[in-house]
Amino acid sequence: MTQPTAAPGDNVKVNYEGFLEDGTLFGSSRETGPVEFTVGEGRLIPAFESAVVGMEEGETKSVSMEAAEAFGERKEELIHTINKDQLPSNIDPQIGKAIEIHTGQGDNVRVLITDVSEDSLTIDANHPLAGKKINFDIELVEIEK
């Protein structure tokens, strides 16, 4: 009897480790436990979900993703310079600090401060991994049909 394989609509549990091209680990479920999701639901990177399709419980797989199919290309239009007086008074702007800002559309967006001058700062709303080719080692722990 053949073992069932993961298909769209299945609930699955996976362990993963994510690496940059140079081998730097950027994320892992080894400490926190397996990630649960429904294949094809779109909660995770589509290429990651697609990589799970056809895997059997206990199977491991390594996949590489170009930036466009992972966290997207970097977009210059997501980098802005704003006046410091636009920040809430409780925020001490420092390079490398992540803050949440409110958009004109009522959304909260996490941005990274990339430059600070006397009266302005530069913020970057790109995902920290945008523009990077990434690799995942995936282990399918459980399939729930």
Answer whether residue 3 shows pLDDT above 90: no
- Please report, as a single letter, which amino acid is at residue 123: I
Rounded to an integer, the average pLDDT of 80-94 is 89
11-72+136-144 CATH: 3.10.50.40
Answer whether residue 1 shows pLDDT above 80: no
Give the Cβ contact number of residue 123 at 10 Å: 20
Asked whether the domain spanning 76-124 has the same topology as the one spanning 11-72+136-144, the reply is no
Answer whether 73's CB lies under 8 Å from 132's CB: no
- Please tell me the least confidently modeled range out of 3-7, 49-53, 56-60, 103-107: 103-107
What fold is seen in the domain 76-124? Thrombin, subunit H (2.40.10)
Which CA distances in Å does 144 have to 8, 14, 30, 78? 11, 12, 21, 39
Whether pTM exceeds 0.85: no
CA distance 19 to 90: 35
